[in-house]
Structure 1
């Protein structure tokens, strides 16, 4: 059972990193499609980079629930927490390293993305294996967190607040809307 979980978490990590990388370019490749905008990065803002981790992780979670629900009934709560941690690590690590170093670098941005994905799946594995967060209330809360984040990532792509995390540092625009 432990090996099966390790394989699932490793597969999820690899799919999340690969799909997140492809989603970085999907909006541009689609010619600016609004459907693509909902699920891919529309600019270089920190928020849109958080979405690159969240979207593949969310959809992989749906698949994982189908196959692992009976073995790991705590999956919704655990994934809700690990997703929050992984996506929150992106701005924390990005703003920390750019604050210390004084500038950003593409290799470091990639490392932040990969480390955040790894942290999400490592936390996921640890909590699932130990059977943590198993109450029915926490399962409901996990589902609400995941669907709430999905809504937020899509909504704020089209209607972003004028906060630094949503601003494209290259164009100084927010979301797909112009200033």
Structure 2
């Protein structure tokens, strides 16, 4: 039990640090195509979900190699956690900006850290609980991989809808 809690706390720290670093990665690498795959290329909500998705996925791969194989539900739990975070970020963003009529950078940062913390807490409770997952672990892992590919594709070929639009430059994608 304590092992899982410690790993999840470390996962939150990893996600917070790497997610924050990824926010600046694209600019720091002179707009590298490789950096564009895992870090935001603009200020759209879609691109900022990468800040949670990729650090969580990388950390989950790391976790799996050390202890995740012991849990048949590992990838199912990780899928539920990551998808929950991916849904919460835009939900909270659009809710508060709809209420107050503007986007606040400091509150967007609070949302990122709050969602990351909440997701790791929920995952921890799922790991410590005895409920079964309905999605086989292999399928859950494939869904996460496909999600990563979708991020790659939509970085370069995003649908031209507001979710993918940079609110500052009014452009889409890379």
Normalised by the size of structure 2, how large is the TM-score? 0.96
The runs of 5 or more residues in structure 2 that have no matched partner are none
Report the counterpart of residue 171 of structure 1 in structure 2. 169
Residue 143 of structure 2 aligns with which residue?
145
CA offset digits 1:44-85 (Å, max 9, x no partner): 000011011001001001011111124322110000011000
Report the equivalent of 2:85: 86
Return the alpha-carbon distance in structure 2 between the equivalents of residues 171 and 36 of structure 1: 20
Per-residue CA deviation, residues 92-128 of structure 1 (Å, 9 max, x unaligned), is 0000010111111111000111111112111111111
Report how many aligned residue pairs link the two structures: 174
CA distance in 2, matches of 1:68, 1:146: 19
Unaligned runs of 5+ in 1: none
Q: Is the CA contact (8 Å cut-off) linking 1:54 and 1:87 kept in structure 2?
A: yes
Secondary structure of residue in 2 paired with 1:64: helix
Give deviations 1:135-178, integer Å, cap 9, x for gaps. Answer: 6x5212311221111111111001101011110001001011xx
Task: Kindly state the Cα deviation for residue 132 of structure 1 after the two structures are TM-superposed.
Answer: 3.0
TM-score computed with the length of structure 1 as normaliser: 0.93
Q: How does 1:51-62 map to 2 (within 5 A)?
A: 51-62=50-61
Question: Is the aligned partner of 1:48 residue 2:33?
Answer: no
The aligned residue for residue 155 of structure 1 is: 153
